[in-house]
Amino acid sequence: MLLCLIAFTTRAGTAEDPAERMRALIVADEQSAKPSPDRWPDLSPEALREREALDRTTLAKLHAVTRKDLAAGDRTVYDLFEWRLNRRLEQFRLRLYLTPFWNDDRYVRFAGVLGTAAALSPDSRGKVESFPAHASQAVALLREGIRVRMLPSEDLVRSVSEGCSASPPGVNPEDPGWNEARKAAKDFCDFLLNEYLPACPMSRSLSQWPNGAEVYRELVRRYTTTDLDPKQIHEFGVSEVARIRGAMLPVIARTGYPGSLDEFLKYARTEPRFYFSNGDDLLTAYRAALERIKPLVPTVIGHIPRRPLSVEPYQGDIAAMWHAPQPGQPEAVVYVAVNNPEIHPKFEIIPLMLHEGTPGHELQHAVADELKAGNSDAISAFERNAGQNLAFAEGWALYAEGLGREMGLYTDPYDEFGELRMELTRAVRVVIDTGIQVDNWSDSRAKEYFLAETGKPQAEVDSEVSRTLWPGGQLAYKVGQFRIQRLREEASRALGSQFNVRAFHDAILRWGPLPLDILERKLDDCLNAPSCAAELTRH
């Protein structure tokens, strides 16, 4: 298979048209990623070296294509492919395949080993028979991670290993193949719980890794999709915390509250009138917020896909979360936690519905699904899949919370305070994530900082700090929001009075969840192309 792909990429490298050469490389790369339906992936050192060599060869062939010779749309595809290959090669350089949590699971799929009940699916005899070797290779990689001290925190391992069953089910206990697979699953879980977990440190800071600073730098690249330095991002977070707290002062003054900012934060946390006493009333308020928001969305968005969105109750800790349409559930849903209404304030309902519903996650995904239905070719599929990233998705949703001002939704100062406190929460996440990883903050220091700056309840502070179990992930929201806002300002300066914000929003949603550095380049290309720039002035 590998030799065939190398031959394919070699032939692709000889094509005359630069765009066709690039597309052939992408198609070959996508083919190389398709897992065998009959076997678990080969995690041997030899297989990993072959994979790295193929990625390196593909990147060299991509660089043989002159980017400036491509049309603007193809330049974006080039940038996206280069980004993806570089992230995979960094995985190999940093040996991230030695941990089951931050590697690119395109090639090192620990997830199937951890979820052993799903791993031992009866769908494929070959997968049952190849599972013991796969599990053994996974153990070998994790043991090497122990040896070189590349170990995630104990809490993180516990959080993802709960599904590892020491007695996974077997379809046919009399079948020798199934017995071997079940024994391999049990051995893997025993290793994870009895050897790997005890070796993991309590601290979640990567500073204890021999290459921890480089690993965190790479995680920052992945989660922010920028080349920003972690120290720069830490300073950005600190400045945003100060800015947002300052912005709260005139809003609080409009409420008539006579005390200080910190006193108001405590008041917002403890005053009973800001909370519902039962889940039904909370759910009703969320549904009413959605009905209030929907007719105002066209004031900031030009193209709005028409598909239903409902608000439904659930039992859980997250205040609200968006779920895509599923088989048997044709509409998107925002689920609202109704089990603890006394901890979810009324003044956060509007920003949360903007974030999870429309024009946040629901609108973003509806546009993407609409484009997917109309573009089924291999390159369009590559753009949709390779471009998926947290920074754009969560950055857009956080940016959408701020659009509530332009939509006229924050006439009540308490609602406006709620939007600012939610933005403040994301800025504080930036400070503590980078603080833990760059300056080796302890959990207790992170919690003290979170409590002091936001005034949130201790249980919520604990939950927020636990998000840093996954280093880098919490940077995506605020960096993404900031970059989208900066792109809007750049387009507005370039186009002057002809700039149309609805057309701008349509364009970046249509371009999709590109890495932010690439999205910035795409906007620059667009502003320098009269036909594309004209698209930002219509409506």
Establish if 517 belongs to a structural domain.
Answer: no
Residue-number span of the structural domain to which 391 is assigned: 230-476
Region of 326 (left: φ > 0; alpha: ψ -120 to 50; beta: rest) is beta
Residue 364 has pLDDT above 60, yes or no: yes
CB 92 within 8 A of CB 70: no
Q: Which of 431, 455, 476 is a domain's end point?
A: 476
**307 and 368, same structural domain?**
yes
**181 and 241, same structural domain?**
no
Q: What is the structure's pLDDT at 62?
A: 97
- Segment 431-451 shows an average pLDDT of 94
Residues 6+ apart with CB under 8 A from 142: 98, 99, 100, 191, 192, 196
Residue 134: both structure tokens together: 């796969």
Establish if 213 belongs to a structural domain.
Answer: no
d(CA 97, CA 141): 7
Residue 119 has pLDDT above 70, yes or no: no
**346 and 249, same structural domain?**
yes
**185 and 43, same structural domain?**
no
Q: What is the structure's pLDDT at 103?
A: 64
Establish if 249 belongs to a structural domain.
Answer: yes
Residue 371 pLDDT grade (very low, low, confident, very high; cuts 50, 70, 90): confident
Region of 261 (left: φ > 0; alpha: ψ -120 to 50; beta: rest) is alpha
Establish if 41 belongs to a structural domain.
Answer: yes
Establish if 375 belongs to a structural domain.
Answer: yes
- Segment 474-490 shows an average pLDDT of 97
Q: What is the structure's pLDDT at 431?
A: 98
Residue 6 has pLDDT above 60, yes or no: no
**24 and 149, same structural domain?**
no
Please give the tally of structural domains in the chain: 3
Least confident stretch, 49-53, 334-338, 366-370, 458-462: 458-462
Residue 62: both structure tokens together: 């991509």
Least confident stretch, 261-265, 331-335, 359-363, 387-391: 387-391
- Segment 255-269 shows an average pLDDT of 95
pLDDT > 70 in the chain, percent: 91
CB 462 within 8 A of CB 499: no
Residue 36: both structure tokens together: 């065998």
Residue 198: both structure tokens together: 């005890």
d(CA 332, CA 208): 43
Residue 116 pLDDT grade (very low, low, confident, very high; cuts 50, 70, 90): low
Q: Which of 476, 491, 520 is a domain's end point?
A: 476
Residue 166 has pLDDT above 80, yes or no: no
Establish if 99 belongs to a structural domain.
Answer: no
Region of 95 (left: φ > 0; alpha: ψ -120 to 50; beta: rest) is left
Residue 224: both structure tokens together: 């922010």
Q: What is the structure's pLDDT at 406?
A: 97
Residue 271 burial (CB < 10 Å; 0-12/13-18/19+)?
A: exposed
**314 and 353, same structural domain?**
yes
- Segment 483-507 shows an average pLDDT of 97
Torsions phi, psi for 311 (to 5 deg): -120, 120
Per-residue model confidence as pLDDT tens digits over 314-325: 999 889 999 999
**116 and 54, same structural domain?**
no
Could you write out the DSSP letters of every residue in 153-204?
A: -HHHHHHH-TT--SS---S-TT-HHHHHHHHHHHHHHHHIIIIIHHHS-S--
Residues 6+ apart with CB under 8 A from 369: 305
Length of the chain: 539
Residue 524 has pLDDT above 80, yes or no: yes
Q: What is the structure's pLDDT at 42?
A: 87
**159 and 81, same structural domain?**
no
Per-residue model confidence as pLDDT tens digits over 170-208: 556 677 777 888 888 888 888 988 999 999 999 989 998
Least confident stretch, 10-24, 297-311, 452-466: 10-24
Residue 150 pLDDT grade (very low, low, confident, very high; cuts 50, 70, 90): very high
Tell me the pLDDT of the chain averaged across its residues: 89
Residues 6+ apart with CB under 8 A from 232: none
Establish if 336 belongs to a structural domain.
Answer: yes
**89 and 19, same structural domain?**
yes
CB atoms closer than 10 angstroms to residue 141: 20
Per-residue model confidence as pLDDT tens digits over 61-112: 999 999 999 998 899 999 999 999 999 999 999 999 998 777 666 666 565 5
Residue 13 pLDDT grade (very low, low, confident, very high; cuts 50, 70, 90): very low
Could you write out the DSSP letters of every residue in 368-413?
A: HHHHHHH--SHHHHHHHHHT--HHHHHHHHHHHHHHHHHTT---SH
- Segment 420-432 shows an average pLDDT of 97
**120 and 88, same structural domain?**
no
Per-residue model confidence as pLDDT tens digits over 218-246: 999 999 999 999 999 999 999 999 999 99
Q: What is the structure's pLDDT at 278?
A: 95
Residue 33: both structure tokens together: 């990623």
**129 and 39, same structural domain?**
no
pLDDT > 90 in the chain, percent: 69
**277 and 416, same structural domain?**
yes
Establish if 507 belongs to a structural domain.
Answer: no
Q: Which of 157, 182, 202 is a domain's end point?
A: 202
3-state secondary structure of 34: coil
Of 241, 145, 160, nearest in space to 434 by CA: 241
Report which of residues 442 and 112 the model is more confident about.
Answer: 442
> Hey, which residues does 416 pair with through a beta bridge?
none
Residue 463 has pLDDT above 50, yes or no: yes
Q: What is the structure's pLDDT at 127?
A: 79
Residue 415 has pLDDT above 80, yes or no: yes
Of 466, 474, 476, nearest in space to 153 by CA: 466
